[in-house]
Amino acid sequence: AQKITQTQPGMFVQEKEAVTLDCTYDTSDPSYGLFWYKQPSSGEMIFLIYQGSYDQQNATEGRYSLNFQKARKSANLVISASQLGDSAMYFCAMNHNTDKLIFGTGTRLQVFP
Amino acid sequence: DTGVSQDPRHKITKRGQNVTFRCDPISEHNRLYWYRQTLGQGPEFLTYFQNEAQLEKSRLLSDRFSAERPKGSFSTLEIQRTEQGDSAMYLCASSSGPQRAPYTEAFFGQGTRLTVV
């Protein structure tokens, strides 16, 4: 069965520090995509970063990078230089040959001054 | 283009009543998705349209739920005879891409929060 696991219900980080949010996945399909979304209190899901299963390099988007370890089936999100506005829920998700996304339970990140 | 738009943002209804939500996707996006998110959980897939064709429905979508996308543009999600367990955030998303393209970024709306009392 396809599954996303996020084991950190909550994380705290000081402003300007880096933080890693963990994500592991389970699938038997060799072709898949991995995504991270941010959900602020307003409710909208904001796309952050994408990694394809065949991509050789780790994805990066500004302060976001995805630490993709295929053998371990992990896709951790690294946020560098945290900002107060980064405080939100973060969801890891996966899709296969259809576009429907399978989400994890999320990690609540709180950035403090 | 202002992104994916959902209406209403909040809905309170009495148990047993019918409710309908609307989603306007990003212009020219041919794919549209509905998800449901309960408190403390990630979104769960409900159904998916490619243009006006409903291609996939989750087992979560009971007979009381129906979704349409009549002209391949906006979509509606109707819940009949609402139950307290239907209380959740209903999220709509849209994406573009040829059929069978697996890696397409989905853009989400702000959701409709349903409370059944």
Q: What is the pLDDT of residues B65-75, one digit of tens each?
A: 999 999 889 99
**A52 to chain B: which residues are within 8 Å by CB?**
103
Instruction: Please tell me which of the candidates A42, A97, A103 has its beta carbon nearest to residue B43.
Output: A103
Q: What is the pLDDT of residues B98-111, one digit of tens each?
A: 544 456 678 899 99
A105·B102 Cβ contact <8 A: no
B41·A105 Cβ contact <8 A: yes
B44·A99 Cβ contact <8 A: no
- As a whole-number percent, the residues of chain B with pLDDT over 70 amount to 92
Instruction: Please tell me which of the candidates B42, B105, B109 has its beta carbon nearest to residue A44.
Output: B109
Q: What is the pLDDT of residues A26-61, one digit of tens each?
A: 999 888 999 999 999 988 899 999 999 998 899 999
Cβ within 8 Å of residue B67, ≥6 positions away = B34, B46, B47, B49, B54, B61, B75, B76, B77, B78
Q: What is the pLDDT of residues A78-112, one digit of tens each?
A: 999 999 999 999 999 998 877 789 999 999 999 99
Q: Are A3 and A103 in contact (CB under 8 A)?
A: no
